[in-house]
Amino acid sequence: MSIWIDTNTRLVVQGITGKEGLFHTRQCVEYGTRVVAGVTPGKGGQQVDGIPVFNTVREAVAESGANTSMIFVPPAFAADAVLEAVDGTIGLIVCITEGIPAQDMLRVKTALQMSSCRLIGPNCPGIISPGKSKVGIMPGPIHRPGPIGVISRSGTLTYEVVHQLTAQGLGQSTCIGIGGDPVVGTSFIDCLQAFAGDNETTGLVMVGEIGGSAEEEAAAFIRDNLQIPVVGFIAGLTAPPGRRMGHAGAIVSGSSGTAASKIEIMRECGLHVCEQLGKLGLFCREVF
């Protein structure tokens, strides 16, 4: 099975006429995703590769029945694009844009709490259910359908983990990049709750990184609620304290949020922790 997207996903792309939006729209279509509409203010009435473009999300939903949005809008306008998708009653919003100010995301977070919409991202690679649908920028060919779920704060590490899983014959049910910003729409625990309800996902890989306490909280949830094996990996084991590494949320302050402390808690909660990224595929083969 899969979570959140499948063959019934009907995608609208906000920012479809931009360079990045157009490129990745075509990649999603090639993978088999049903892209039913695009949105670019002022360009309503046009078409992109036969996909109708609308001025607003509301118009796109009314005309195409879109239920999912993928956002390629510049950082200064991306939060408003998410809010427009919320107002347009989109069920799942995937925001690829990086560099959105945290203050803008706090406004978005408040709006999401008062709605039934789910946001994945921002600053994320998106979500893919192999063989069914892709909503994001991940390379489709490295994925294979199967029973292993993947959740990651890092886009690049998501690809590396998936490549190794596939090489070991371990297909994936759904792979989600939640993003590494301080304020994101979907947490590790949100994903874990969804996977817990999918009886065809028989194992999970959780890829975290330094900074914050999300991985520790997720480990406690896994200990108390999941009955399937979970492999954990934490990036940034050698990162110096006080220096941001890659993502805005990947910063260690004092003894809080270090890779060592996360790994210790994950092991205490029963996760199978792999400390060497290059051997993660083989490690997973032994666990699953």
Enumerate the active-site residues: 247
80, amino acid identity: D
169 token code pair: 């014959």
List Cβ neighbours of 266 (8 Å cut-off, separation of 6 or more): 215, 216, 219, 232, 234, 273
3-class DSSP assignment, residue 276: coil
List Cβ neighbours of 238 (8 Å cut-off, separation of 6 or more): none
149-176 residues labelled b (16+ CB within 10 A) or e (exposed): bbbbbbbebbbbbbebbbebebbbbbbb
How far is the C-alpha of 208 from the C-alpha of 192, rounded, in Å? 14
- Phi first, then psi, for residue 242 (nearest 5°) are 85, -5
Answer yes or no: are the C-beta atoms of 111 and 118 closer than 8 Å: no
Enter the DSSP assignment of 249. Answer: T
Enter the DSSP assignment of 70. Answer: E
Largest CA distance in the chain: 57
Answer yes or no: are the C-beta atoms of 187 and 112 closer than 8 Å: no
How many of the other CB atoms lie within 10 Å of CB of 286?
10
276 token code pair: 């060497």
- Phi first, then psi, for residue 20 (nearest 5°) are -70, -40
Answer yes or no: are the C-beta atoms of 61 and 9 closer than 8 Å: no
Q: Comparing C-alpha atoms, which of 15, 186, 207 is closest to residue 97?
A: 15
